[in-house]
């Protein structure tokens, strides 16, 4: 009964979080396009399925991924098996990235952009190895008490320096790759490991030391992809393009097959992470899994919830969002396009399940300092502004790297002035804003806009919105913390 009551609460919260999306859709359909969206029942059904998926996902996280991650980190510390932490960090980082659908999509686009110079499979391994190595660095940071802002400043300075010499065809994809390396399942697990380590080591702060692993996972692939692109464009040669994938069709058989393949994709996404956790739990630590039945039920809820979430998005929100973006581009009204980018970025971010989960963990880790709802709103504002800024760049033109370097330079400067406890969390939040909700809508908007605006190259100008959607929330959260420190009345209150 307790679980059912909690699920009902999560479901109602999910519906409330989806309300801004409904408002944006209705405002544009009724006031701008002056028509009702086609298939309103499908849209309503899709929203309800999304809400059910979010509720299942969040409840499953609390039953399985969060306690398992924190417990594993605690066991490593208490048993003195700190040497196992480093290979564990690499394995989790690699497993979380190599099968990530968004990473696969980015790698395939990189192969297309480079006319075959970049191999999609090799690039996936470059990204996965980058994430694995940086998780080793992140674990060492927590163990040694290194300040995360020093690592972030050094890393982003390197990434920005490489941007000067990297081929223009790869820069947008490189920065986008940083935003898609961590998925909706791996982000909570990586965050739980960091929080578990910080909680188990005397003298560590949950807020300042427990967060930051996700931020490092976002940063290093930008460096790895640019280095790989420089090497390939210097020494590589073009290869024949890959053959097109045949269309599965729209009949009932194709639909059922798509459902089965979609579920298999979700299982593939989760299984490598589960395998790493079980291996280190049973083989390396030789410990039984605490509350195994609850953990199994939780993982199943996460899997089913994530699947329902994606199906609900595909059922109503993605087609409608893409159609609205196409209609606005056809009308050629820059002000309306910018307004749509701002509002849809804000609305979809509020419904991001991983953001909800990390925000609640941050509030629990810092009573009186962080308010989960306020942070979500600030992050959503940052995503909206970032997407709007990226759309503005496509409309007016200008090299992508100048705009993105300016945004990251601002973030680096703010690190010197923002409260130190907020920096790791701010960059973590930037890494959770671009997953299954935001990426498809943002990608469709960027590519469609670049194709419609004269003088723009789809392959160079159509990408990069994800990068803006990742860095602007970081800036917004640090500014919010600076204001909150100076205006005590704005400090967190219980949600």
**What's the angle, vertex CA 60, arms to CA 125 and CA 207, rounded to 5?**
70
Is there a contact between 63 and 294 (Cβ–Cβ < 8 Å)? yes
* CA distance linking residue 169 with residue 352, whole number of Å: 30
- Predicted local distance difference test score (pLDDT) of residue 242: 47
Give the 3-state secondary structure of residue 368. Answer: coil
Cβ-in-10-Å burial (0-12, 13-18, 19+) of 4 comes to exposed
Q: Is the pLDDT score of 192 beyond 60?
A: yes
For 257-291, what is each residue's pLDDT tens digit?
A: 666 666 666 676 677 878 888 888 887 778 887 78
When mean pLDDT is compared across 229-243, 290-304, 362-376, 419-433, the lowest value belongs to 229-243
Q: Is the pLDDT score of 476 beyond 90?
A: yes
Specify if 325 maps to a domain. yes
Give the 3-state secondary structure of residue 208. Answer: helix
Confidence band for 185, pLDDT divided at 50, 70 and 90:
low
- Predicted local distance difference test score (pLDDT) of residue 23: 84
Decide which of 185 and 49 is more confident: 49
For 128-176, what is each residue's pLDDT tens digit?
A: 898 889 889 988 998 888 888 889 999 988 998 998 888 877 887 788 7
* CA distance linking residue 24 with residue 288, whole number of Å: 49
* CA distance linking residue 28 with residue 18, whole number of Å: 16
- Predicted local distance difference test score (pLDDT) of residue 247: 43
Domain that includes residue 70, residue range: 1-242+257-490
Specify if 247 maps to a domain. no
Mean pLDDT of the residues in the chain: 79
Q: Is the pLDDT score of 492 beyond 60?
A: no
Contacts of 8 (CB under 8 A, 6+ apart): none
Specify if 62 maps to a domain. yes
Decide which of 427 and 330 is more confident: 427
Decide which of 359 and 459 is more confident: 359
213: left (phi over 0), alpha (psi -120 to 50) or beta: alpha
For 88-128, what is each residue's pLDDT tens digit?
A: 889 888 887 776 666 776 677 677 766 778 888 888 888 88
- Predicted local distance difference test score (pLDDT) of residue 467: 82
- Predicted local distance difference test score (pLDDT) of residue 477: 94
- Predicted local distance difference test score (pLDDT) of residue 385: 94
Specify if 249 maps to a domain. no
Total domains present in the chain? 1
Length of the chain measured in residues: 495
Q: Is the pLDDT score of 439 beyond 70?
A: no
- Three-state DSSP string of 3-68: HHHHHHHHHHHHHHHHHHHHHHHHHHHHHHCCCCCCCHHHHHHHHHHHHHHHHHHHHHHHHHHHHH
Specify if 386 maps to a domain. yes
Q: What is the mean pLDDT of residues 455-479?
A: 82
When mean pLDDT is compared across 10-14, 23-27, 431-435, the lowest value belongs to 431-435
Contacts of 141 (CB under 8 A, 6+ apart): 148, 151, 209, 212, 216
Q: Is the pLDDT score of 495 beyond 50?
A: no
Specify if 250 maps to a domain. no
Q: What is the mean pLDDT of residues 181-203?
A: 79
Confidence band for 58, pLDDT divided at 50, 70 and 90:
confident
Confidence band for 447, pLDDT divided at 50, 70 and 90:
confident
- Predicted local distance difference test score (pLDDT) of residue 249: 45
Specify if 409 maps to a domain. yes
Confidence band for 244, pLDDT divided at 50, 70 and 90:
very low
What tokens were used for 236?
Answer: 């590589």
Confidence band for 246, pLDDT divided at 50, 70 and 90:
very low
Contacts of 386 (CB under 8 A, 6+ apart): 345, 407, 465, 468, 469, 470, 471, 472, 473
């Amino acid at each position: 009964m307790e679980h059912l009551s909690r699920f009902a609460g999560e479901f109602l919260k999910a519906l409330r979080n989806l309300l801004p999306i409904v408002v944006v859709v209705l405002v544009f359909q009724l006031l701008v396009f002056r028509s009702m969206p086609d298939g309103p029942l499908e849209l309503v059904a899709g929203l309800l399925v999304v809400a059910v998926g979010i509720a299942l996902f969040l409840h499953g996280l609390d039953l399985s991924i969060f306690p398992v991650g924190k417990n594993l980190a605690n066991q490593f510390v208490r048993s003195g098996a700190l040497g196992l932490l480093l290979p564990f960090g690499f394995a989790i980082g690699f497993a979380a990235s190599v099968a990530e659908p968004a990473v696969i999509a980015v790698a395939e686009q990189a192969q297309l952009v480079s006319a075959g110079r970049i191999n999609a499979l090799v690039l996936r391994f470059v990204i996965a190895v980058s994430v694995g190595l940086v998780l080793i660095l992140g674990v060492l940071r927590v163990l040694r008490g290194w300040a995360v802002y020093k690592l972030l400043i050094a890393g982003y300075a390197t990434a920005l320096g490489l941007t000067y010499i990297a081929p223009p065809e790869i820069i947008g994809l490189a920065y986008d790759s940083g935003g898609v390396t961590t998925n909706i399942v791996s982000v909570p697990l990586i965050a739980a490991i960091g929080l578990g380590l910080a909680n188990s080591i005397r003298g560590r702060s949950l807020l300042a030391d427990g967060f930051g692993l996700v931020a490092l996972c976002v940063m290093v692939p930008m460096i790895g992809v640019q280095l790989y692109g420089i090497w390939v464009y210097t020494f590589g040669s073009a290869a024949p393009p890959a053959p097109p994938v045949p269309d599965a069709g729209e009949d009932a058989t194709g639909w059922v097959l798509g459902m089965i393949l979609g579920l298999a994709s979700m299982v593939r996404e989760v299984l490598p992470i589960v395998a790493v956790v079980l291996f280190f739990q049973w083989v390396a630590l030789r410990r039984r899994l605490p509350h195994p039945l609850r953990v199994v039920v939780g993982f199943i809820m996460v899997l089913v919830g994530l699947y329902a979430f994606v199906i609900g998005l595909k059922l109503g929100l993605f087609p409608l969002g893409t159609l609205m973006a196409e209609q606005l581009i056809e009308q050629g009204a820059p002000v309306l396009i910018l307004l749509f980018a701002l509002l849809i970025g804000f609305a979809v971010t509020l419904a991001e399940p991983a953001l909800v989960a990390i925000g609640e963990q941050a509030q629990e880790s810092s009573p009186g300092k962080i308010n989960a709802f306020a942070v979500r709103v600030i992050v959503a504002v940052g995503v909206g502004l970032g997407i709007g800024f990226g759309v503005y760049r496509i409309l007016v033109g200008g090299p992508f790297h100048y705009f993105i370097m300016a945004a990251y330079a601002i973030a680096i400067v703010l690190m010197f002035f923002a409260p130190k406890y907020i920096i790791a969390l701010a960059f973590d939040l930037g890494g959770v804003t671009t997953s299954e909700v935001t990426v498809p809508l943002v990608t469709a908007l960027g590519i469609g806009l670049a194709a419609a605006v004269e003088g723009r190259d789809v392959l160079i100008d159509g990408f990069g919105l994800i990068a803006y959607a990742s860095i602007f929330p970081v800036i917004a959260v640090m500014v919010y913390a600076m204001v909150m420190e100076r205006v005590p009345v704005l400090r967190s209150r219980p949600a």
